[in-house]
Structure 1
Amino acid sequence: MERKKLVLVCDFVENILLDGLESLGYSVVYQPQITMPEVFELAEKLSGIVINTRTPVRANLMQKAVNLKWIARLGSGLDIIDLDSAKEHGIKVLNSPEGNANAVAEHVLGMLLNLLRNISKADCEIRSGKWEREANRGRELSAMKIGIIGFGNTGSAFAKVLNGFGCNVLVYDKYKQHYASDFRFVRELNSMEEVLKESDVVSLHLPLTTETFELVNAGFLSLCKKGSIIVNSSRGKMLVVKDLLNSIQMNHIKGACLDVFPNEKINSLSKGEKEDFEELKKNQCVLLSPHIAGWTFESKIKISEILIDKIKSVSE
C-alpha cells in the first residue's frame, strides 16, 4: 500500500481545510504553533506545507524539502516565500488574497471613520471624565477624495465599501489598464503622483517587493496633499515610520491609520524602533491596530475554502 503524502499545516485553520487535505489523500500534520527548527526536522518528508507570516519558506528550507510540491500561503503576502527558489525547485506557490480582501476593506474603513470622527480619542476622554464636543468635531467622507494605490483584491474591495459614502475615489495601479471600468464612481489617474496631490486620504494596497520597500518615505510624503491621511494595511516595511512622524510634526500630513509595522515583534524592537513606536503611541492623530485587518472569522473560513480548491488543482 502506497504511503500517503505528508502535508504540514503551520497555523490555525478551519476544519474545512484539514478535512479537504485528507479527502485529497494527504496525511496531515497539524501543528499551528510549530517552531522553525521543528519545520526543518520535518522538511524532507513534506509534499506540501500550509504557512502564515510566522513560518517563512526560504531557499535553505526548500533545499532540504526535496519532496515538496507546493506551498500554500494563508492570506496574500508572498514576501515570506523565496519565489525564485520555488521556481528553481519546481514548487508551486499558492495564496488566497481573495479570502480576506473584504475583511481588510472593512477594517480600513473602520479605522478611517474612527480617526476622522475622533472616536477613540473621545472614548478615552469621556472615560476620564472629559466632555469635549467642539474639540472632537469631525470630518465626513462624503466631502473627501480617497486615493487608492494598488487596485488588486484589497484595493478594489476598499473601493466597493466606499461606494455608499458619496466620496470621490481616485486610483492608480502601475501594472493595470482600464481596471476600474466596473466601478463607475472610481477615477483612474495616470500616475501615483496625481493621486497623492489630489487625495485627502491615501490608502496603500500593494505587495511588498523591492519596488515597494520603503515606498512611503520623505519624498513620497512631500508629494501628498497638505493635511492628508496615510493608511497602511499592506506591509509595514513599505513605510518609513520616522519620515511619517516628521511629516506629521511639520503639519504636512494630518495623521495615519496603521495596521502593519516594519517590525511586528514589539517585544524585540531596536532602540530606534522603540523611539518611533513610542512617538506613534503618543500621537492622537495616529490610529494603530496589530495587523488584524484581514483577521475575521469569515475570512478564516473563506481563506480555507479558496486554498483547498487551489491545492486540489495542483494535486490532480
Structure 2
Amino acid sequence: MKILISDKMDPRAAEIFRERGLEVDELPGMSPDELARVIGEYDGLAVRSATRVTPALLEHADNLKVIGRAGIGVDNIDIAAASQHGIVVMNTPFGNSITTAEHAIAMMFALARQLPAADASTQAGKWEKSKFMGVELTGKTLGLIGAGNIGSIVASRALGLKMKVIAYDPFLTPERALELGVEKVDLDSLLARADFITLHTPLTDQTRGILDADALAKAKTGVRIINCARGGLIDEAALKEALDSGKVAGAALDVFENEPAHESPLFGTPGFISTPHLGASTTEAQVNVAIQVAEQMSDFLLSGAVTNAINMPSLTAEEAPRVKPYMGLAESLGKLVGQTLGEQIESIAVEVEGDAAELNIKPITGAVLAGLMGSYSDSVNMVNAPLLAKDRGLDVSEVRHSHEGDYHTLVRVTARTPDGPRSVAGTLFGHNNPRLVHIFGVGIEAELTGPMLYIVNTDAPGFIGALGTTLGKADINIATFNLGRRKVGGAAVALIAIDSPASRETIRRLCELEGVREVVALRF
C-alpha cells in the first residue's frame, strides 16, 4: 500500500510508515491540480492544514481508503464528501492538546500584564512603568466555552493558579464537571460572571459566531477574551467595537476567520494581542501528531483498527482481531436481509447476545449496514453505509443481551417491514467461522458464500428432485444444500450454494416448479 504525505510533517511519520511496510511519498507543496493527478495512486493521504481535500479532489481518489490529519481541526477536509466515497477521516486530537492549552494560558498572562505592549515600549527606549498596570489572575473567574480535551487541561492549569472556573458545554455532564473541579453554567451566566473567557470548541453551525455582538453585550464589562481554538467563533468586527468602547478590556487571538490573516480590523487596536495560529507550534507537538497520525493510518490499513476517526466508530488494535469475524458475519447477514427483503425494509435492529454482547457493537452495526446498503448501491462500506441508510430514512437500533441462548454467541438482524418483523441470525463456529442459523422463523445452518439461491416452497415429497433436475438442465452445479422448515407440509426454506450464478431464465423456471413461493438469487 502507498501513502502520500502532502504537507510538511516531522520525518518520524514517514519512518513509521516504512517501518510498518508501507510505501511513502513525501510531496509537500503540490498545487491542487498536481495533487489531483497523483492522488489515485495512493491508499492513504496524510495532511496537516495546507492541503485542501475537496469533493473535486476526491473524484480522482479511486484507491484512497484513509485520510489522516496530523492535528485536531479538519476544516480543510470535506468530511461529507470523504464519507460518501467511503474514506475514513482521522485526526490526532491529543497530540497537541497540552501545547494548545499552554498557549491559551500564555495568552491569558499576556493580556493580564500587557506584556507585548510593555515589551515594545521598553525596547523602544521608553520606561513607562505607570502605563502598564495589570491585573492578577488569582481569584478571578475563568469562563470556558467548551470543556473537552483542551478545555479540561486549561481548567486544571487555571485551578492551579487559584482561579475559579466555570464552563459552558452542552456535553459536559454534572459528574464530569465535578471531576474537573468546574461549575457548569449556561452561556448567559458565563458571560455575566467571567473575568476571562477562553474558547475551546470546534467550529460548527452551532458554534459559529458564538461570541457575536449580542453575546459581547451580555458580557461582564472589562472581560478579557482568548481564542486559540478556531477562527469564526468570534465576530471580529463586533469584538473590535467592544474593544474600542471598553466593554472588552483585552482580547488575544491565535486564530482568525480568514487565514493567513494578512489584515484584520483588529490589528492595531489597543488591548489586542495576536499570534499566527501558534497553538500547536511546539517541537513536541509536531513530533507527537506526526507519530500519532502515522500509527493510526498504519493500524487501519494493516489491521483494520480505527482510532480517532471523525466519520466511523473506533475499533482499537486490540479489539480488531476479536471483532473482525463478527463483522464478517454481520455483513453477510446484512446482505441476506437486503437481497431478500429489498425495498420492504423500514427499519433495522441489530442484536447481540452471549460472547458478542461483550464486544464493541458499533463496528458490528456498521458491517450490517454495509452489507444491507450494498444491495442498493455500489461502492458501499462501513463509512458511507450509515449515510446511505439515513438517506433512505431507515431507523437503526442496537440491543445487547448479556445472557447466552442456544448459542454461545449470536448476532441477530431484524428488519421491520409492512408485513411485520423479519429476522435472520448467525453465530461463529470455532470463534472464527460465520454460520447462518436462523432465517425468517426457520432454523437452518448454512455458510453464506459465493452465488446462492434462496427458495421458499411448500414442504412436499419430490421437490428436491425437481429442483436438482432444473439446475442440472441449466448446467449449474450445487456446492452445498441447506434445508429448514417450520412444520411438516408447511413452508420450507432452501439455501443452495451454487458454482455459477443462475440466469433470469433459470430463476423463472424455478419459480414455475410446483409449490415454489419465492426464489431469490443471492451473492456473497
Q: Normalising by the residue count of structure 1, what TM-score does the alignment of the two structures yield?
A: 0.91
Match of 1:61, SS?
helix
1:285 corresponds in structure 2 to 271
Alpha-carbon distance between aligned partners in 1 of 2:139 and 2:129, rounded to the nearest angstrom = 21
Q: Which residue of 2 aligns with 1:28?
A: 24
Instruction: Give a deviation string over 1:106-146, Cα, whole Å, max 9, x none.
Output: 11111111121121111111122221222212111113101
1:42 match: 38
* SS across alignment from 1:248: helix
Taking structure 2 as the reference length, the TM-score comes to 0.56
Q: 1:164-313 residue pairs with structure 2 within 5 A?
A: 164-177=160-173, 178-184=175-181, 186-189=182-185, 191-267=186-262, 274=263, 277=264, 279-313=265-299
- Match of residue 157, structure 1, among 153, 158, 172: 153
Q: Report the aligned-residue RMSD.
A: 1.5
Runs of 4+ in 1 over 6 A off after TM superposition: none
Q: How far is the alpha carbon of 1:254 from its aligned partner? A: 1.2
Alpha-carbon distance in structure 2 between the residues aligned to 1:89 and 1:176: 33
Look up the match of 2:328: none
- Counterpart CA distance in 1 for 2:213 and 2:184 is 25
Q: Is the 8 A contact 1:196 1:224 kept in 2?
A: yes
Is this contact kept in 2: 1:121–1:284, CA < 8 A?
Answer: no
Larger Rg: 2
Percent of aligned positions that are identical = 30
1:57-206 mapped onto 2 (5 Å cutoff)? 57-177=53-173, 178-184=175-181, 186-189=182-185, 191-206=186-201
Richer in strand (by share): 2
1: CA distance, partners of 2:292 / 2:2: 20
Give, in whole Å, the separation in 1 of the partners of 2:298 and 2:2: 15
Quote how far apart the aligned CAs of 1:209 are.
1.4
Matching residue's letter, 2:61: A
Unaligned runs of 5+ in 2: 304-524
**Does structure 2 conserve the Cα–Cα contact (< 8 Å) formed by 1:151 and 1:205?**
yes
CA distance in 2, matches of 1:60, 1:301: 31
1-side partners of 2:294 and 2:172: how far apart? 28
Residue 12 in 1 paired to residue 32 in 2? no
Pairwise CA distance, 1:36: 1.9
CA distance in 1 between partners of 2:40 and 2:298 (Å): 22
How many residue pairs get aligned? The number is: 301
Shift of 1:259: 0.3
Bigger mean CA deviation after superposition, 119-128 or 282-291: 119-128
Query: Structure 2 vs 1, CA of residues 47 and 100 (structure 1 numbering), >3 Å: closer, same or farther?
Result: same
Instruction: State the match for 2:469 in structure 1.
Output: none
8 Å Cα contact 1:200-1:227 kept in structure 2: yes
Q: Distance in 2 between matches of 1:309 and 1:54?
A: 21
Q: Give the Cα separation in 2 of the matches to 1:284 and 1:113.
A: 16
Q: Distance in 1 between matches of 2:28 and 2:281?
A: 16
Note if contact 2:55-2:81 (Cα within 8 Å) is conserved in structure 1.
Answer: yes
CA distance in 2, matches of 1:310, 1:25: 14
1:167 deviation in Å?
0.5
Where relative contact order (Cα < 8 A, 6+ residues apart) is larger, the structure is 1
